[in-house]
């Protein structure tokens, strides 16, 4: 008896189509979560009470370096000696364009801005 060579390819195609459908539905769910996050998302006490070091690791490290040494963004190791807490808070809220790079506004939720400004102002 001769086997039909198209059967294995048909099975692979059928499995692929099922996977595409499953992943499509998963993507729709993720799209809803992303949209909710852009609209403010769910406010949690974890967001408000995060340690400044953790906020830095999650938000700032990519531009300012793992030791605050700078990179795309400026060195922050002694930023408190150069800027006041209010000036730092203003930059965190409104962003800034400078010689070194651009600090985009709105990277931190409002409840984290004061915590970060105070922490960075202590770096002298």
Question: Residue ranges for the binding site for heme c?
Answer: 60, 63-64, 103
CB atoms within 10 A of CB 80: 18
Binding-site entries: 60, 63-64, 103
Coil, strand or helix: which one is 124?
A: coil
Angle between helices 85-94 and 110-121 (to 10 degrees): 140
φ/ψ of residue 105, rounded to 5: -85, 155
Q: Cα separation of 120 and 69, whole Å?
A: 13
């Amino acid at each position: 008896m001769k086997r039909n060579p198209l059967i294995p390819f048909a099975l692979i195609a059928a499995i692929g189509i099922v996977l595409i459908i499953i992943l499509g539905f998963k993507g729709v769910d993720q799209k809803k979560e992303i949209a909710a996050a852009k609209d403010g998302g769910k406010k949690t006490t974890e967001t408000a009470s995060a340690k400044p070091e953790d906020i830095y690791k999650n938000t700032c490290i990519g531009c300012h370096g793992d030791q605050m040494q700078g990179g795309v963004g400026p060195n922050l190791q002694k930023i408190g000696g150069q800027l006041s807490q209010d000036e730092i808070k203003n930059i965190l809220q409104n962003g800034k364009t400078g010689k070194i790079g651009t600090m985009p506004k709105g990277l931190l939720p409002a409840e984290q801005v004061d915590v970060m400004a105070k922490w960075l102002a202590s770096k002298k």
